[in-house]
Structure 1
Amino acid sequence: MIAALPQPRHPLADLVGWEDRVRLMVRPKRYQHVLRVAELACQIACANGLDESRAYAAGILHDIARDLPDAELLRLAPPEHPIDAAHPLALHGRAARTLLERWGYRDPVVLEAVEDHTTGPRGGNPVSACVYVADVSEPGRGVNEDIRELALHDLDAALHRAIASKVTYLQGRGIQVHPRTLQAYYALPLVRVDHGHSACGHAGSDASVAASPAPRLSLRRSRPA
């Protein structure tokens, strides 16, 4: 079971409190990954005219359940599919959302991005796209530099490449693809850029996590040949 942790001073607006909580929940090496994902997600959002503050917040929070034991992941996120029971680590996105909701976090856009970062954005949430791409391509991984560079000028194309390459890799080796990943694969979002967005600013520890709701995006529903 998870030990009780101190409540952040302002659970809906003070990201510093949430950063402290994440730091307590994950290993030091994981926390460095979290910081890199948050910074890259913020950069991607800025470059594409999207919500930088939410992208940074979701990046900070996305792996809060990543280092929990399998039994705790299964308790927080009961399996929806046989693959979940066989590979509980795939549940850490859903488990993270459960924890955040129990601890008072309420931004639905960020919560969805946290939940979907393991399997792929399913509903056209642009913050989900930023975090998913940042998670697979942050510099510390040493891979997917092409996806990272592409995301800084065409997030839609980068998301397509990231999800399609994962599905192709798994299917080519006869490995089961998670149903949520297939759902994301067949409903890849078309990310629209708001060219009226202000110049990029640093969305660091004081970034707001209670901004106005982000728009939902239209979906491209073409299936691969």
Structure 2
Amino acid sequence: MLTPVARHLRRVLPVAVGAAAVAGLGALLPAPASALPYGPYTCAQGYVWRDAFDGDLVCVTPADRDIAHTENAQAVSHRSPTGGAYGPDTCNQGYVWRETRPSDHVCVEPGRRDRARVQNTEGILHFADPTQLPAGDVHIRTELTLPGGAIYLDGGKGLTPNGRIEFYAVGLNTNSPRPLGNRQSDGSGNLPRESAALADVRCDLPRNKTATVIVVDIRTGTAKSAGTTYAFSC
């Protein structure tokens, strides 16, 4: 006789997935990509890539993008011509590194550095379809319960060392990504495989529907998929 959880698994897993996928629900194949005009990092209407550096895909307002371009153009004038405590990248008094990523040493007013950190945190809110973000090197796994399930961190690498890493669920019956929790990477930019749940969730999707878990490296604003989960399915 099937246990309650086994009956739940039989109910929510499509026949094509099969029993072999039960142990690795976070590694399911992604849904076919929708036709986004600029690829998976296409911004929602009203937002554009910040473009503070080549490859900067954080979505911001056009005004913030223009400010980032101006800051780049004025970088030399805000840098100490004689160097200082931080070498040739030492800023003039009253200015600090912008830090849209750790290597961003453009000198700006402190308020603009704070704004860059907020942009990195909020970028996940401004993608046209975050379910289409590509897979990264952080992975999750799911253990189903009745009803709902628990989402676990299955390990990760390639992150900013000692950086704040935030997790979100997208593709739910909500307009915004749902926060699942956060972790801090170690000095090598890794996350361990955990036995304690990152998030314990309940029904929020029709059965056989998956949500996507997104990982955001706050120091860089980089967002990647960590896999899909049936934890919200009932």
TM-score for the superposition, normalised by structure 1 = 0.28
**Greater fraction of residues in helix:** 1
Q: Which has the higher strand share?
A: 2
Pick the structure with greater CA Rg: 2
TM-score by length of 2: 0.28
**Larger RCO (alpha carbons 8 Å, 6+ apart):** 1
